[in-house]
Copies of this chain bind each other. A is one copy, B any other.
Amino acid sequence: MQNRRLHRKPDDVVKAKQDRFLSLFAPPTGVALKFPAASTIVAQGEPVQSVFRVVSGYVRLCIYTEEGHRRIVSFHGAGSVVGMSQLSSPDWKVSVEAVTSCVLDAVPKSVIEDRMDSERDVREGALITLHSDVEMREAHLVMMAILPATERLHAFLECFAKMRGSDGLVALPMCRRDIGDYLGLSMETVSRSFSALRESERIETCGAEKFRLTEGRPFETNLDHCHAA
């Protein structure tokens, strides 16, 4: 879900800047914190004190509306940086919640800001992360508007499998409702879409939370009913 097909700069150059930036999350500037599954790491509205990087486990970024609706903006696994887009804001616009039990490295906001001032590579690394955030949300937006439920789920699973990097069986850490809130679908529709993908043999499943993508199929996307031309 992160860093999907970002920068096409020479990867090693980008990586060096990123590394410098990411090193801030290690000691001595960073501190590892552990959170149990389903706990709230930071709540929407809290003052922004730290930026995080996921070490292990999965977190979700949620937005709660006044009416009580929950929208999941993104999921983040090991390696993802969370909170950079909150830097110029006094308080969190999103909640960060632990999907599974997880460990995060936390760095004080002030440290990030200071290093961005003094180190060029940190600055560029941070910009790349921010840029990635914008792009991720744009891709999400496009998907939400254009793809029907089953294709949305398929895109999500593809994306998640890619992020995991494993070609084999992938375990989904989040429940159907989470996926629904991420894709803008009801829990039931997500479940039905799973069944549809399984029946059309585009995925294989092993229990409710493990799946494997059946690859290589030319797969005619049924987009006939989508508007715009």
Query: B138 touching A73 by the CB < 8 A rule?
Result: yes
Q: Which of B131, B181, B229 contacts A88 (CB 8 A)?
A: B131
Per-position binary interface string of chain A over residues 180-194, scored 1 when its CB falls under 8 Å from any chain B CB and 0 otherwise: 110011110000000
Q: How many residues of A contact B (CB 8 A)?
A: 54
**Shortest beta-carbon distance, A93 to chain B, in Å?**
6
CA distance A146 to B71 in the complex (A): 8
Q: What are 8 pairs between A and B in contact, CB < 8 Å?
A: A9-B88, A69-B223, A87-B131, A93-B135, A133-B134, A134-B137, A141-B141, A186-B227
A residues neighboring B (CB under 8 Å): 6-9, 63, 65, 67-71, 73, 85-91, 93-94, 116-117, 120, 123-124, 127-128, 130-131, 133-135, 137-138, 140-142, 144-146, 177, 180-181, 184-187, 221, 223, 226-229
